[in-house]
Structure 1
């Protein structure tokens, strides 16, 4: 979480871009991302040089014959020379950095444009970024760069035309930890945006399988084949590709694709789907893939994406996806149909209802997380429900840290579901049988099954209340009389 002086520094950097005439938040994030990427390339190369010297092994710097592009050299140049070097040498250098010209990085860096308007603005921006990095190194946070980047993405304060908006990082982390991906998985987010789900999955796997990733075969799978993301916003794709590379995933499969259209014909390709798909309104029926329409006859994107996840998963594949509350209890044939598909023909494990403030200030919509496995032949015998009341932050637009946080409890209980069998419906989590859900038109709203305990409140006798009112009235009259005397 970015707070205090670090937050103020990033805000100041943002204002510098605005004062320089770059007012589109996506343009600001792109330019900062390019500079962060150049800085991190230099730092990464320095570490590899030191490691090679310690191990006594050869290493060829990526800045060989391009030392002027190294951050430590660049930032000490006079303003005009720095400006010219960045524009004429550094940007062409990073555009051609990747050997694989078909990689996501190469595709989305080809049209990268240096937009900082003047040498003076560039100097101010570089100075502010160095202060941010220096301050970040003094903060006790294992992923301060991720926090900084997350805070910048939070500047995208409005959702897109399709109803997509940024998923809070701590919610993504919870979903990843509950799904427990492994190095053998193939992970997809068909509405990836800035690739937050894929990045957090990569961080989780690196932390858990650090030694295993020393194996060349596993590392190649991790870098080139494990992660796939699609989106229809090319700017988001560029940021997503760089976001993944800055988090150590060298060649992710990040591509432009309308996931719900015939353009996407992928079937049974992935073992894990993690997503928060856009769920605003409906789309043109003529663009919807016929395969999806066979599963659920609708134009609502939130229902079509669920059908897509089932199609893209291999048998045995697992999904953790965010849906609007309406998916849980909607009464249309399409709503009932997709819920029946997940429950009857596959295995639904859990429904976590989240409070409406989780996505503020971007949206106030109530949402839930569905955890299910594709089986093709059923398997749902009971479903675990959890009523999340707090995620560790205030549920208003400010989203300040608070003490109440259900996420640790969710993780602990999900890890030991056998102990949930005895939980009552009056508690925050409990099981509901498949038969009961089916009898209720496959309704997945927790309020359908939660029992509320009404406590009888003891009130004073009417005569006592009346006496209190009379006493208050007398006090008021005395005060009024005193006021009149003073006037």
Structure 2
């Protein structure tokens, strides 16, 4: 029987509908869905702290004062300054509590609307008893489809995350990280998987390690880091009063990692740096302005020896020349790049985005210097003409056949080739032009084993040319910047403002 992607208990649909309806009320008053979720997350943390404080047994004073009682008793005309004062007070607290309110601002300027959110929505529920984690995730999923908010760029579809996590099988001794964690989906699903498969013979030392930093991530944007931290708290991954936060706010690429992990799960941002500057790091293989190529290099450094990773990448990573070719060569040599999942289009916030998932391990270097990769298995979930036993829509693809073909926890020698799942030796990959890994395996090959397409794919050729021209232009821009005399600018006021 095929394994299915695990799912946890569902959320309260009535609760979700109530939250979504109020999001629509605020949207009609000029407050975006993302701003609503920010306010909701802060208020839920305050209400849960009140509930923990009021428990008749084992009560806990998380905040040091009852902020929720202050809010509910404050007169409406004083509500906004009182709420902002609480946010400012908590923002300077150490640990996770400070991160939950880092640079938090009230985004609801109408005290009547804020009062209604506090009294009629949040105060109606006991947030310590409902499955708010699942409801919060469902609310984020709905919000990610709203193109106006741009929230989708921080949200990886949860069915895809669940499939990846089931393939990677986080274990009791793993240290799990996401260097571009967004709203925390990978960390939460890895935690849920571990809870569902928790062994009975866990030692006290293992439990302590799980409670003190077995899951950690980095997020660049303050508001998103707050959402991720709230999400982790609501799912039980961490506590609001934890001394060491799970999430670090900052740029993962700015410096080499100070802490490594055995398991990296991530969907890093796509595109090029907002500036033309390349990132120089001694642990990187090459200089480039491509964020996805820099994240691949960073993940290699982030992994401990014998660690493993699953990374969502745009298809350009598979075929672009210049630094892209060098990174692919070095990755195939330094790591065992064993699986590539070609994703269908239409599952991300940018509808036409073509992306894939790279799975690789980081073993000890081979004594003879030969590549760590021996064989790459490519599963094509994109090509529409390949027969499949199950119907599939782009918006909701079925990953269970891929999970079955992946054979989690089993030797890869047990894998079986199908029209959708084929393998290629590393020698064949290195022989391809520019080490092109954009392999459409679901297309009927002209012979028993052929890597090159029988006909010229004009669309793919255009993609390759565009990617290589973009990389070349970025290189020329950086070179011109480096050669320009100090203080002399010839590219106009816009460039001067950028500098």
TM range (shorter): 0.7 to 0.9
Distance in 1 (CA, whole Å) between partners of 2:354 and 2:12 is: 27
Higher RCO (CA 8 Å, separation ≥ 6 residues): 2
Q: Label 1:243 to 1:7 Cα distance change in 2 as closer, same or farther (>3 A).
A: closer
> Tell me, what secondary structure is at the counterpart of 1:193?
coil
Most deviating of 8-17 and 342-351? 8-17
2:98 and 2:66 map into 1 onto residues whose CA distance is 22
Paired position in structure 1 for 2:3: none
CA shift digits 1:98-117 (9 cap, x unpaired): 7xx2x243245253334433
* Contact 2:379-2:441 at 8 Å conserved across structures: no
Q: Distance in 2 between matches of 1:365 and 1:88?
A: 40
Give 1:423's match in structure 2, choosing from 399, 417, 425: 417
| 1:62 partnered with 2:61 | yes
Per the TM alignment, residue 61 of structure 1 is displaced from its structure 2 partner at its CA by: 2.9
Moved more, 215-224 or 230-239: 215-224
Residue 258 in structure 1 maps to residue 251 in structure 2:
yes
How big is each residue's C-alpha offset from its partner over 1:181-218, in whole Å with a ceiling of 9 and x where there is no partner? 223222222222222222222222222227567x6543
1:243 aligns with 2:211: no
Q: Which moved more, 1:366-375 or 1:180-189?
A: 180-189
TM-score by structure 1 length?
0.73
TM-score scaled by length of structure 2: 0.71
CA shift in 2, pair 1:159/1:342, >3 Å? farther
Q: Distance in 1 between matches of 2:38 and 2:64?
A: 27
Q: Give the secondary structure class of the aligned counterpart of 1:225.
A: coil
Match of 2:380 in 1: 387
Post-superposition offset of 1:45: 6.1
Does residue 27 of structure 1 match 2:35?
yes
Q: Within 5 A, what are the aligned runs for 1:262-301? A: 264-266=255-257, 269-282=260-273, 284=275, 286=277, 288-291=279-282, 294-301=284-291
Contact 1:303–1:335 under 8 Å retained in 2: yes
Q: Which shows bigger deviation, 336-345 or 249-258?
A: 249-258
Contact 2:12/2:135, CA 8 A, preserved across alignment:
no
Task: Provide structure 2 residue ranges, at least 5 long, that are not aligned to the other structure.
Answer: 1-9, 385-389, 448-499
Say which SS state the counterpart of residue 17 (structure 1) adopts: helix
Please tell me the root mean square deviation across aligned C-alpha atoms, in Å: 4.0
**Residue in structure 2 matching 1:170, options 135, 148, 159:** 159
Is 1:80 aligned to residue 79 of structure 2?
A: no
Q: 1:18 aligns with which of 24, 27, 51?
A: 27
1:90-129 per-residue CA deviation (whole Å, 9 max, x = no partner) reads: 6578657x7xx2x243245253334433443234324653
1:316-355 equivalences in 2 (<5 Å): 316-330=306-320, 332-355=321-344
Structure 1 position 253, deviation (Å): 3.2
In 2, Cα distance between equivalents of 1:31 and 1:175 = 31
When Rg is computed on C-alpha atoms for both structures, the one with the higher figure is: 1
The 1:420/1:428 distance shift into structure 2, 3 A limit, reads farther
Structure 1: runs of 5+ lacking an equivalent:
53-58, 455-487
**In the superposition, relative to structure 1, how do residues 111 and 212 fare at CA in structure 2: closer, same or farther (>3 Å)?**
farther
Which residue of 2 is the match for residue 483 of structure 1?
none
Listed as ranges, the matches of 1:23-172 within 5 Å are 23-42=31-50, 49=55, 52=57, 59-62=58-61, 66=65, 69=68, 80=76, 83=79, 87=83, 91=87, 101=94, 103-126=95-118, 129=121, 143-155=134-146, 157=148, 159=150, 164-172=153-161
User: What number of residue pairs does the alignment pair up?
Assistant: 419
- Cα deviation for residue 325 of structure 1 reads 0.8
Alignment of structure 1 residues 466-481 onto 2, 5 Å? none
How much has 1:241 moved relative to structure 2? 1.8
